[in-house]
Amino acid sequence: MLDPELLARVRALGLKAQKLVDGLRVGELASPRKGSSVEFAQHREYVPGDDLRHVDWRAYARTERYTVKEYQQETNFIAYMLVDSSASMGYGSSGATKFDRALLLAGVAATVLAAQSDAPTLQPLIAGGTNSPPSPSSRRDRVERMLETLEAARPSPRHDDATRVGVVAEALNDLAARPARRGMVMLFSDLLEPLPAVLDGLRRLRVRGHDIIVAQILHGDELNLPGDDLIRYDDLESGEQLVAQPAVIRDRYRQEVQAWLDELSHGCVGLRIDRFLDRADQPAGDSFPQFLSRRRQMARRRG
């Protein structure tokens, strides 16, 4: 399920958290905790009980005050990878649905993270299902099993009352409510559910200190509404049907879609969440690497 070329490009760029995170063991990423490491963080005043090996004796010679050197602890991190498996993600041609693209991007990201000794956990978001994720792991066999479980959670073309539930907002709120380690959250979804609830769930995760990436996956048909003759549209989530002539409503439809995308973009910017749009009807390979490259550039400017 992995594209070797895409995997190589993402691996070359790396997938790093841009915020301070909590880790499990020594790795490559800065932690919010102070400890012993090679990366100097700051000075502070000496207090009884501090290790004398950390006293800055040169500073004492200049100021006759005892100060202690603190270092930034190096750590890896957990990546909570949430993959929307609701019915709308099944839209597209065989082998090129939105869920197929989400599976590809999540698989590439998890593989790169595990190779960095970080600990991804892949969780399918299923209507009416459990939101309990598997244990995070950087072991290759464990990551492969998580990917197999994720692939088995394919969206069903059938619909029932359970599919009306906003699975993304529910999962975001569930993760924010758990005493989870502060890490990276990657969401792969079309976000075709009430936007205020989704943004509120993202806000709660940001308050908890998570670094968040949103990969929004849509199909070109959803953006452009092609066709000229009368077409019957089936809502994959609710089962409702609508007959319409695309040529008549296309301009207004595109305006509404753009307004929705603008509202989502504005909300993510306000929450300091990184987001990119990927189209399932176009070849994979550009949007994710280009996003990571822009993200690295922005991190350098901020740093």
> What's the 3-state SS for 130-173?
CCCCCCCCCCHHHHHHHHHHHHHCCCCCCCCHHHHCCHHHHHHH
- In tens, the pLDDT along 133-159 reads 788 888 888 999 999 999 898 886 554
Task: Calculate the average pLDDT of the chain.
Answer: 84
For the chain, give the longest Cα–Cα distance. Answer: 85
E strand or H helix at 216: strand 211-218
How confident is the model over 71-103, as pLDDT tens digits?
544 447 899 999 999 999 999 988 899 999 999
CATH architecture of 4-23+77-302: 3-Layer(aba) Sandwich (3.40)
Q: Which residues of 275-294 are buried (b: 16+ CB within 10 A; e: fewer)?
A: bbebbbbeebeebbbebbee
Residue ranges of the chain that CATH labels 3.40.50: 4-23+77-302
Residues 160-208 have pLDDT tens digits of 454 455 899 999 999 999 887 789 999 999 999 999 999 999 999 999 9
pLDDT of residue 75: 47
Do residues 120 and 132 touch, judged by C-beta distance below 8 A?
Answer: no
